[in-house]
Amino acid sequence: MCTLEKRGNLFILTLTGEDQHRFNPDLISSLLDLLSQVKAQATCGSVLITQAQGKFFSYGFDLDWAQAAGSERGAAKRLQHMADLFKPVIATLLSLPMPTIAAITGHAVAAGFTLALSHDYLIMRKDRGILWMPEVDIAVTLPDYINALFKEKIGDASVRRDLFLRGLKMKGDEAEKRGVVKAAYDGEAEVREASVCLAENLGKRKWHGEVYAEIRKGLYPQLSAILGLSHKVYAIARL
């Protein structure tokens, strides 16, 4: 389902397997667990890369599991349950004491796109894979923390409108042009290489992780508030 690897200063979180990496309660729980481990082992100069195997980064919540509830109300409840379980994953990423990179080599859809967007940097494939919020098409509403994430991470109002109200399937080159991702590359290997390169450059700066996290929270105050992340006043004798 997902694995954690340590390579020098780099933490590499991988969604494994050739499937859609749908977030069901088990996978969400594993993700949270691994991210907690990352947090516990963080040092100056640590960086996280989140990546996935196969054609999908993640296709979002496990709708099959939701529908297996047997009724419309049951499905809605299960969806709500997954949205509630997923919130701490986003909170952990937002408060992770190190720079974070999402290496998107496949489709990132709904909660999958949300996971990617919760990272400081997004690197994507140009030739394959889309970013997509299909909620308008499947008639599902978005939890407040996802609305806040997109609002504070994506500055361009037209982009947010296109993603949410038009259900736009955004490819790599458009995502790069419109500022949704940092860069887009042709090919899976290129994306992974660029992510590692960026991670190494960021790691070299040996930033103080707690300070990094606090500054990050300050960039996204509404989201941080919704996620229940408090602001710490931090003073260190490093000047």
Query: Which positions touch other proteins (CB under 8 A)?
Result: 63, 66-67, 72-73, 75-76, 79, 135-142, 144, 147-148, 151, 155-158, 160-161, 164-167
Q: Give the amino acid at 4.
A: L
Nearer to other proteins, 169 or 208 (CB): 169
Residue 47 C-beta: closest distance to other proteins, Å: 29
Residue 152 C-beta: closest distance to other proteins, Å: 11
Q: Alpha-carbon distance 193 to 213, whole Å?
A: 25
Residue 128 C-beta: closest distance to other proteins, Å: 24
Question: From edge to edge, which strands make up the β-sheet containing 107-109?
Answer: 56-58, 107-109, 130-132, 169-171
Residue 75 C-beta: closest distance to other proteins, Å: 6
Would you call 1 exposed, middle or buried from its count of C-beta atoms within 10 A (0-12, 13-18, 19+)? middle
Would you call 204 exposed, middle or buried from its count of C-beta atoms within 10 A (0-12, 13-18, 19+)? exposed
Nearer to other proteins, 38 or 149 (CB): 149
Per DSSP, the chain holds a count of helices (H) and strands (E) of 11, 10
Nearer to other proteins, 81 or 151 (CB): 151
Residue 163 C-beta: closest distance to other proteins, Å: 9
Nearer to other proteins, 60 or 99 (CB): 60
Nearer to other proteins, 37 or 147 (CB): 147
Residue 72 C-beta: closest distance to other proteins, Å: 4
Alpha helices by DSSP H, listed for 100-232, are 111-117, 135-138, 144-153, 157-165, 172-177, 188-203, 209-219, 221-226
With vertex at residue 80, the alpha carbon angle to CA 78 and CA 86, rounded to the nearest 5 degrees, is 105
Nearer to other proteins, 100 or 114 (CB): 114
